[in-house]
Amino acid sequence: MATDSALEENQQALALLKADADKILQLIKVQMENLTMPQCPLYEEVLDTQMFGLSREINFAVRLQLINDSTGKEIMENLERELSALHDAAQASKMN
């Protein structure tokens, strides 16, 4: 019975972290569609703050053993790839 409860808690923690990651991903996608980052540095700060907050959430979940470290790293790496693509797209639009 305790293992079922622990598994449910782990799945719930992972679902919450993925939901938070999806919100950040949505911010990134909106920014990529509009490519307004060069004109709006505040947007970049919001993304950085959201990414930092999520990394702290993931760290907390790992420390509580709700998720494993590799799962947390995978979530962050996916977002970092998207953020990198946003920066590349913004740089390309500056050159044009």
Q: Is the Cβ–Cβ distance between 47 and 24 less than 8 Å?
A: yes
Residue 90 has pLDDT above 80, yes or no: no
Domain range spanning residue 52? 2-95
Closest CA to 67 of 78, 55, 79, 52: 55
How many domains are contained in the chain?
A: 1
Q: What CATH number does residue 37 fall under? A: 1.10.287.750
The 10s digit of each residue's pLDDT in 52-78 is 999 999 999 999 999 999 999 999 999
Q: For the whole model, what pTM was predicted? A: 0.80
